Amino acid sequence: MAPSDVLLKVDDLSVSYGHVQALRGVSLEVRTGEIVVLIGANGAGKSSLLETVLGINRPEAGSITFKGRAITGMAADRVVRGGISLVPEGRGVFAAMSVLDNLLLGAHHNLSNAPANLRRVFEWFPLLGERKNQLARTLSGGERQMLAIGRSLMAAPSLIMIDEPSIGLAPIVVATIFEIIVHLNREGYTILLSEQNAYKALKCAHRGYVLETGSVALTGTAAELLGDPGVREAYLGA
């Protein structure tokens, strides 16, 4: 799909938790049809950025525009209703609830389309369909990641934000998850990804931003970043 108009625009965004400044004047863009990856070490501000876009943190400065509408400081449930969903770091699966209930939670604001969306999610992740009545706590890490991604699809989002999809997963499972991400993108979903596993992420992304201590240190196409000596040294271990 050809990247075209700007779907999400973050402009000069600053966020603090008490005295700790998590983001300092971050600007970035995600265009429709892209996979954009945020690269950075632990604490660089990747999760803070995603959570601020979702409306969890209130920014002290800057603006967030989605589909041309300002969503800065909007409550998370309204942002989700507006078409952004988050796959949280560590999956955020509700272990004591069934797989089906977890999926339906994602459809909280979109319940009338839930049957059709459920069918689609089960087509993509047949395993979730087989286990829909099992408690989510019985799933493995990779299966939980699939459940979390499936849940985000239930909201029929225009933008899916995935926070550290590979964290805590075996390499072979990580490969599957990235295949899923690419597949979703081909199906038309725009994806903003945060990842410490920079190589894998850049391999599947169109563009990337390198975050360092809360600000954008570098940006470019995925190929440019993969070739950048600084990136290679700091994030690719080369």
Residues at the interface with another protein (CB under 8 A): 51, 54, 56, 75-77, 79-81, 85-86, 88, 92, 94-97, 101, 104-106, 108-109, 111, 151-152, 155
Comparison of 137 and 183: residue with beta carbon closer to another protein:
137
Comparison of 109 and 203: residue with beta carbon closer to another protein:
109
Question: Count of CB atoms within 10 A of residue 60's CB?
Answer: 11
CB of 210 to another protein, least distance (A): 25
Comparison of 94 and 199: residue with beta carbon closer to another protein:
94
CB of 86 to another protein, least distance (A): 6
Burial class of residue 70, CB neighbours in 10 A (0-12, 13-18, 19+): exposed
What's the CA gap between 99 and 149, in Å, rounded? 12
Comparison of 31 and 109: residue with beta carbon closer to another protein:
109
What's the CA gap between 181 and 201, in Å, rounded? 10
Comparison of 100 and 204: residue with beta carbon closer to another protein:
100
CB of 226 to another protein, least distance (A): 31
CB of 89 to another protein, least distance (A): 9
CB of 175 to another protein, least distance (A): 26
